[in-house]
Structure 1
C-alpha cells in the first residue's frame, strides 16, 4: 500500500477515535449532543477531516471507493459541512455517528491491517 494512502487511512482512524473519545465520560445521547455546541463543532471538524482524507484517497486511487462503503457520500458530507454550514441537521449528523461511523471504522481498520 502506498504510504500516502496509509497516512490518510490513519487520519480517518484518528478522527473516528477522537469522536468516540468525546463520549468516554458522558452518555452517547442525542440530547447531550444537540445541546453542546462545542461537542457538535468538534464532531463536525472530525467529519470534515474524514471526508477530506477519503477524498484524497479516492483521487489518488479510485479503487478504494470499492472498499469503503459510501465513500463518495462521506466526501459529500464533508462538502456539506464546509459549504452549507448554516444548514447542518443535528439529526443527520447523529445518525451518521450511530449508524455509519462504526462500519467505517471497521473498514478502515481492515484496510490498515491489510497493508
Structure 2
C-alpha cells in the first residue's frame, strides 16, 4: 500500500460512515423529501468519490480491493459536473445497496495497514 493510500481510505471510510449515520432509520420517502439530508449525503459521496478517484490513480492495487469503486467515482462526477441531472433514487440506491460493502472493505484495509508511522 502506498503511503498516501491510508489517508484516502480513511477519507472514504469516514465519508461512508457519515452517510450511514445520516440515513439510519430513514426511508426513501424521508430522503426524497429532505433537502438537507440529500445535500449531506451528496457532499459525503463527493468526498468518497474524490478519494477513490485519487486512490485509483495513486494505488490501483489497493483500489482493486474495494468494491464498486467505479460507481463511487461515477456518482461523484455526476454530483459535481451533472448536478442538474442528479437522480435522487439513484443516489438512494447507491447508499443503501452499495455503501456498506465499500465501508467494510476500506475499514478492513485500514486495519490491515496498521497504525500510521510517527516520524
Task: State TM-score, norm by structure 2.
Answer: 0.88
Task: Verify: 1:9 aligned to 2:9, yes or no.
Answer: yes
Q: Mind listing any 5+ residue stretches in structure 2 that lack a counterpart?
A: 114-119
| Off by >3 Å, runs of 4+ in structure 1 | none
The CA distance in 2 between the partners of 1:103 and 1:45, in whole Å, is: 19
Aligned partner of 2:108 among 82, 86, 110: 110
Correspondence for 2:21: 21
Kindly indicate whether the alpha-carbon contact (under 8 Å) linking 2:2 and 2:59 is maintained by their aligned counterparts in 1.
no
Aligned partner of 2:62 among 61, 64, 68: 64
How many residues in Structure 1 have an aligned counterpart in Structure 2? Answer: 113
The CA distance in 2 between the partners of 1:65 and 1:3, in whole Å, is: 14
Task: State TM-score, norm by structure 1.
Answer: 0.91
